[in-house]
């Protein structure tokens, strides 16, 4: 029974952390709507989370607590990246397009997914520190967390196509890109201001 409890706690904890709208989720959603490199983007996000969760469960959170400067540097670099990505999304909001699978795609979706994951200091706080301290070496908790991550990214990336009819209108893209821009710029500014 304890094993099932650890799995479910890991799954539930990760879901509460990952479902929040952020840079990574917005990018996965956008790629899913465009139906471009969805499997690659989903795989990068889920694999990155799996690595970070494993390292957190193994106890890396203790080391990060001793070197908080690493979080500060990641916050500044990540904040600058998010501001840049936010301004690109804002520019797209002023020049919206319609959904046309196969056109106007991100030429480097895997690199963007990697940057949105690994330059985001919140991912370190969530996976290394928070999940790592809760799991404290309980590997089934980590398996539950990784399962939640995979479930979420698959559902978000591949489920986005259900919204395709809505995004056949330029106005829907304007709203989505406007929301993405607001989230990215707010997160980027907050990261830089808080570091």
Count Cβ atoms below 10 Å from residue 142 Cβ, excluding itself. Answer: 26
Mean pLDDT for the stretch of residues 131-149: 86
Whether 142 has a pLDDT exceeding 60, the answer reads yes
Taking residue 29's Cβ as centre, other Cβ atoms within 10 Å add up to 18
- Supply the DSSP string of 149-181, one letter for each residue: HHHHHHHHHHHGGGGTTGGGSHHHHHHHHHHHH
3-state secondary structure of 21: coil
Question: What is the model's pLDDT at position 193?
Answer: 85
Tokens 């990246």 sit on residue = 81
Which 8-state DSSP code applies to residue 125?
Answer: I
Q: What is the mean pLDDT of the chain?
A: 81
**Residue-wise pLDDT tens digits, 41-94:** 999 999 999 999 998 888 765 665 677 676 677 678 767 877 887 888 788 778
Predicted structure pTM score: 0.72
What's residue 101's pLDDT?
43
Question: Over 60: is that where the pLDDT of 105 sits?
Answer: no
Residues whose CB is less than 8 angstroms from the CB of residue 98 and which lie 6 or more positions away in sequence, other chains included: 167, 168, 169, 170, 173
């Amino acid at each position: 029974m304890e094993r099932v409890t650890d799995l479910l706690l890991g799954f539930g904890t990760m879901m509460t952390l990952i479902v929040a709208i952020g840079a990574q989720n917005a990018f996965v959603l956008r790629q899913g709507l465009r139906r471009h490199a969805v499997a690659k983007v989903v795989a990068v996000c889920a694999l990155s989370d799996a690595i970070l969760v494993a390292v957190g469960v193994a106890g890396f959170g203790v080391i990060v607590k001793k070197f908080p400067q690493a979080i500060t540097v990641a916050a500044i670099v990540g904040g600058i990246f998010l501001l840049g990505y936010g301004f690109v999304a804002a520019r797209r909001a002023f020049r919206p397009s319609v959904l046309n699978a196969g056109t106007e795609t991100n030429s480097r979706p895997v690199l963007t997914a990697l940057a949105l994951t690994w330059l985001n200091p919140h991912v370190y706080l969530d996976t290394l520190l928070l999940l790592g301290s809760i799991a404290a070496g309980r590997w089934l908790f980590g398996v539950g967390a990784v399962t939640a991550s995979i479930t979420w990214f698959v559902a978000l990336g591949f489920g986005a196509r259900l919204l395709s009819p809505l995004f056949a209108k330029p106005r829907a893209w304007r709203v989505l890109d406007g929301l993405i821009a607001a989230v990215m710029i707010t997160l980027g500014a907050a990261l830089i201001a808080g570091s």
